[in-house]
Amino acid sequence: MNCRHCHSPLSLTFADLNTAPPSNAYLKPEDLSKPEPFFPLRTLVCTQCWLVQTQDFTSAEDVFTPEYGYFSSMSSSWLNHAKNYVNQITQSLELNNHHFVVEIASNDGYLLKNFKEKNIPCLGIEPTHSTAEASRALGIETLESFFGESLALDLAQKGKQADLIIGNNVYAHVPDLNDFTAGLKQLLKPEGTITLEFPHLKNLVDLNQFDTIYHEHFSYFSLSSVQAVLKTHGLRVYDLEQIPTHGGSLRLFICHKDAQTLPEKPSVAQLLAIEIEAGMQTEAYYANMQAKIRKVRAQLWHFLLEKEAQGAKVAAYGAAAKGNTLLNYCGVKDHDIIRYVVDASAFKKGRFMPGSRIPIVALEHLMEDKPDYILIFPWNLKPELEKLLEPTRTWGAKLVTFIPELKVS
Ligand SMILES: [Zn+2]
């Protein structure tokens, strides 16, 4: 396989998680008597541009699409994050009703509605019909489409270039990174700004967040690897922030290579120096990941077998990609060991986790069952979930996380 960005041959494995079904392929009861497709889940690193990427194979782009059953407005912390972002960027770019904002993967309008309230013209681009409809119901103009260079050229020809383009948690999920980035270039006004948010690869490595690897997450970025992609397409990073979402993300502020009014701020060189100091442009940095991942698997099995021997009841919370990656990599398939996974989504209730086939239930079920241990799969939401699960302390339940290592509290 060749690099998704620079087309150099790839030979260095970063993390090999064996095989897994698509992480959003939740099973209905009638699916349990059918076979399930499993695909290799392996990430490689390009030793030319240092882009970490999932292994490619035939039809990957058709099978692995982002989790579109997801409505962003369901998460209150995410809504707050969006609102704060809009207030901050409106102020710093001095946006008003003469400007034009485009959000890519605008979902149900959870973010753009904040611009609408400020009377700043905006457009959402969203390929999923159900969420695009929800966005239109809020009065937000929404184009139902995937984003790439041809759509961007089309919009530019209609005079719809943007002063601000927003891509929050979409860039890492794009299969054709070069086409998407070429689209950003075409859609941006000469002195416009693009902001992209994505989990920072340095946190994945340092904090052993290997469960953020799944097929639909095609790219794992360092600052330097994104800079390499942007440079190819005539763009550059002029500022950045490190933000806490998804276990530690970067928010990059990007402009045209030759923008006159947007000089590079010291934050960019500072983070680049940190990455270089850490060795992120050397093979050695990536070579130790697999050993760290295996350690988590050993801890998980040790924990589960010990609790089974003690006759303790073990359940889990969070039927999403992180839990699926962890269970499938570790090969946990037995719902005698993990009785069920609790999830707030009505869509997932009554279904089964892909691969592990552990049943998904509502919170009420856990409150009746009173398990002794609750595994928290979305460790990034632990403070929120500790509050939600506070009543389980009355019967002495303990919360367990496995990333970066086993912790029982
Ligand atoms: Zn490359």
Ligand 1 midpoint to CA 10 (Å): 8
The reply to whether CATH 1.20.1050.10 applies to domain 289-408 is: no
pLDDT of residue 367: 98
C-alpha 93/C-alpha 83 separation (Å) is 16
Q: Is the pLDDT of residue 61 over 80?
A: no
Ligand 1 midpoint to CA 257 (Å): 20
Residue 129 near residue 142 (C-beta atoms within 8 A): no
**Rg of the chain (C-alpha set):** 22
Ligand 1 midpoint to CA 357 (Å): 36
Ligand 1 midpoint to CA 3 (Å): 5
Question: 340-395, pLDDT tens digit by residue?
Answer: 999 998 889 999 999 999 999 999 999 999 999 999 999 998 998 999 999 999 99
Q: Is the pLDDT of residue 72 over 80?
A: no
pLDDT of residue 24: 84
Q: Is the pLDDT of residue 312 over 90?
A: yes
- Share above pLDDT 90 across residues of the chain, in percent, rounded to a whole number: 87
pLDDT of residue 62: 67
Ligand 1 midpoint to CA 79 (Å): 35
Ligand 1 midpoint to CA 377 (Å): 32
Domain 72-286 architecture: 3-Layer(aba) Sandwich (3.40)
Residue 60: band (very low, low, confident or very high) from pLDDT cuts 50, 70, 90: low
pLDDT of residue 70: 64
CA angle 236, 241, 242 (to 5 degrees): 125
Ligand 1 midpoint to CA 258 (Å): 24
Ligand 1 midpoint to CA 233 (Å): 14
Question: 104-128, pLDDT tens digit by residue?
Answer: 999 999 999 999 999 999 999 998 8
Query: What mean pLDDT is predicted for residues 143-168?
Result: 97
Domain ranges of the chain: 72-286, 289-408
Ligand 1 midpoint to CA 376 (Å): 35
pLDDT of residue 138: 96
Q: Is the pLDDT of residue 59 over 90?
A: no
Residue 212: band (very low, low, confident or very high) from pLDDT cuts 50, 70, 90: very high
pLDDT of residue 335: 77
Ligand 1 midpoint to CA 394 (Å): 53
Ligand 1 midpoint to CA 249 (Å): 21
pLDDT of residue 63: 67
pLDDT of residue 124: 98
pLDDT of residue 202: 98
pLDDT of residue 67: 56
Ligand 1 midpoint to CA 136 (Å): 39
Ligand 1 midpoint to CA 184 (Å): 20
Query: What mean pLDDT is predicted for residues 39-44?
Result: 95
User: In sequence order, what are the beta bridge partners of 316?
Assistant: 341, 375
Question: 170-198, pLDDT tens digit by residue?
Answer: 999 999 999 999 999 999 999 999 999 99
pLDDT of residue 373: 98
CA angle 399, 402, 406 (to 5 degrees): 80
Q: pTM here?
A: 0.93
- Mean pLDDT computed over every residue of the chain: 94
Residue 64: band (very low, low, confident or very high) from pLDDT cuts 50, 70, 90: low
Name, in order, each residue with C-beta under 8 angstroms of 156's C-beta and a sequence gap of 6 or more. Answer: 186, 187
Residue 206: band (very low, low, confident or very high) from pLDDT cuts 50, 70, 90: very high
Ligand 1 midpoint to CA 245 (Å): 26
Residue 4 near residue 39 (C-beta atoms within 8 A): no
Six-digit token pair at 295? 């350690």
pLDDT of residue 248: 94
Ligand 1 midpoint to CA 221 (Å): 12
289-408 and 72-286 share a CATH fold: yes
Ligand 1 midpoint to CA 1 (Å): 11
Residue 101 near residue 95 (C-beta atoms within 8 A): yes
Is residue 325 exposed (0-12), middle (13-18) or buried (19+ Cβ within 10 Å)?
buried
